[in-house]
Structure 1
Amino acid sequence: MSEYILRTSQLSKKYKNTLALDDVNISVKKGEIYGFIGQNGAGKSTLLRIVTGLSFSSKGSIELFGENNPSMLSDAQKRTGAIIESPALFPNMTAHDNLEVHRLQKGIPGRESINKTLELVGLSETGNKKVKNFSLGMKQRLGLAIALLSDPELLILDEPTNGLDPMGIAWLRELIKKLNREKGLTILISSHILSELHQLASRYGIIHQGKLLEEISAKELDEKCRQHLRIKVDQQAKGATILESTLSTTDFEVMPDGTMKLYAYLDDVRKVSKALTDNDLVIEHLSQNGDSLESYFRELVGGVEDE
């Protein structure tokens, strides 16, 4: 069985003269939390709608659970649960009755799944209260319950924290972690706020103006953003030896471009400079580098502000 739950190949979507998706290739591995990040209007929802069968691509293909035959994709899509934009709810019904309608529509056997799912999302005590009287946060929870009702293998969440207060966001974050950890659920979650996904995702796809700019693991992203001293001397090998012997640190990397990244001594640059020059090395470059996650994202997309 493939390690990938979802892969897209040159996926494109054109609306009249607007190219919403431009040859996008993403790959989501089994068991990971994949953070799909981009500004509002970047193409996140368009891709998720195509993956879930709510829209069709203009070009390209999708592989879902190893199935890429278009005529068989609908069966694969039944193994997913999703919240895309605002969940479809029946305002004059209770939470329980809303789930019952969706249970019947999806052909899920037995009613046991309803109470179990309501309890999972914290709505088991809503009783006869109609959905029209729910808060926005409660409606989001009910939408999540609908997505989880069929016990999916892939959960797709499009901007799921919209309308949630800080407590609701923290609750959702912990539930996502629990579902991933205890059920091994693969989760694809989109957001335009990198700081939200940073607490969840094991890998990221960054999209801008319909183009996928980068796929990167959480470890790689943290490494790129880690504060360090960027050092270039006339003798790289000798410089590395000085860092180890004179400064007694191995917390550095020797880079292919001839520079070194030193993660220690960030608050004592003069000591680093003195150690190098005292050993007859010529310092060609010495600066402090490293970004916050937000500044890294802004730099990647060209500094464009979110609209």
Structure 2
Amino acid sequence: MNDYVLRTNHLTKKYKKDIALNNVNVSIKRGEIYGLIGRNGAGKSTMLRLITGLAFPSGGSIELFGKIQPNVAIDAQKRMGAIIEQPALFPNMSAYENLEVHRLQKGIPGRECIDKTLELVSLMDTGKKKVKNFSLGMKQRLGLAIALLSDPEFLILDEPTNGLDPMGIVEMRELIKRLNREKGVTVLISSHILSELHQLATNFGIIHQGQLIEELTTTELDEKCRQHLRIKVDNPTMGATVLEQQLSTTDFEVMQDGTLKLYNYLDDVRTVSRALTNHGLTILHLSQNGDSLESYFSKLVGGEEND
């Protein structure tokens, strides 16, 4: 079995003179929750539209389930579920009726999948209530139900928490985690709520001005964002010895430029400073550092905000 659900090879999309996506290479393995990060206009939605067949690439290729599009586009569509932009809902129908329409459109045999999917997204109790009277959170869950109706292996979600209140965001996050954990669904999700992605994704791709500028795992991101004391002394080797022998810690790193990153003693800077100076070291710099995903993203792409 191929380990990769999705791989893109120099994926490019041009609109007249504008390049929306430029030579993007993304790899997503089975079982991952891949968070796609980028400002509005960075190319996130364009990429998702290309993957789901709603648009066609200007260059490069898309490999789904080990086979290159467009040769397996129909087969791949059956194994995927997606919410791109606003889900297509019929406001004067109930949740059940909405799913029945989509079941027929997708050619899914039997109605058993409808009740099962409604239960999965906690909409079993809506009965004959019309969708136009649903809350935004209920509509988002119904959109997710449509994407899940065919029991997909690969789920693609474009801003699924957009407009939800804090409780709705938590419910959506827990539902996606449960699908991934219990059903093994691989998820590709874009969102501008970076703190939410940080709690959800196992892998991240950062896209800026149509280019993928970094891919990293949650472990790698946490390491980059981990709170620490940043220490520069005139003798880094002696500084490391003092930390290990006098402060009895090995929870530090010596960087290539000689900077010491100490991950404990965050609330006891005075003890660290005293230990270093008592051994004749000159402290050139001492500060507490560490990023949130938002600040790491801002530093990477420039600017203070993720639009």
Report the TM-score, using the length of structure 2 for normalisation.
Answer: 0.94
Count of aligned pairs between the two proteins: 307
The reply to whether residue 113 of structure 1 matches residue 113 of structure 2 is: yes
Match of 1:83 in 2: 83
Report the TM-score, using the length of structure 1 for normalisation.
Answer: 0.94
Match of 2:166 in 1: 166
Report the 3-state secondary structure (helix = DSSP H, G, I; strand = E; otherwise coil) of the residue aligned with 1:161: coil
The reply to whether residue 179 of structure 1 matches residue 198 of structure 2 is: no
The reply to whether residue 301 of structure 1 matches residue 298 of structure 2 is: no
Taking the TM superposition and a 5 Å limit, the aligned residue runs for 1:139-154 are 139-154=139-154
Match of 2:43 in 1: 43
Report the 3-state secondary structure (helix = DSSP H, G, I; strand = E; otherwise coil) of the residue aligned with 1:71: coil
Structure 2 CA distance, aligned partners of 1:73 and 1:304?
40
Report the 3-state secondary structure (helix = DSSP H, G, I; strand = E; otherwise coil) of the residue aligned with 2:147: helix
The Cα RMSD (Å) is 1.6
Match of 1:62 in 2: 62
Structure 2 CA distance, aligned partners of 1:203 and 1:138?
28
Deviations 1:10-60 (A, max 9, x none): 111111222111111111111011111111221111100110011111111
Change (3 A) 1:247 1:304: closer
The reply to whether residue 4 of structure 1 matches residue 4 of structure 2 is: yes
Deviations 1:171-214 (A, max 9, x none): 11111111111111111111011111111111111112211121
Match of 1:33 in 2: 33
Structure 2 CA distance, aligned partners of 1:26 and 1:20?
16
Taking the TM superposition and a 5 Å limit, the aligned residue runs for 1:1-307 are 1-303=1-303, 305-307=305-307
CA contact (8 A) 2:38 2:306 kept: no
Structure 2 CA distance, aligned partners of 1:69 and 1:141?
29
Report the 3-state secondary structure (helix = DSSP H, G, I; strand = E; otherwise coil) of the residue aligned with 2:124: coil
Structure 2 CA distance, aligned partners of 1:287 and 1:305?
24
Where does the alignment leave 5 or more consecutive residues of structure 2 unmatched? Answer: none
Identity %: 75
CA contact (8 A) 1:83 1:144 kept: yes
Deviations 1:81-135 (A, max 9, x none): 0000001122222211211111112121111000110111111122222222322
- 1:304 deviates by 5.2
Kindly provide the amino acid, as one letter, of the partner of residue 186 in structure 1: T
* Bigger mean CA offset, 269-278 vs 157-166: 269-278
Structure 2 CA distance, aligned partners of 1:191 and 1:224?
20
CA contact (8 A) 1:64 1:77 kept: no
CA contact (8 A) 1:11 1:23 kept: yes
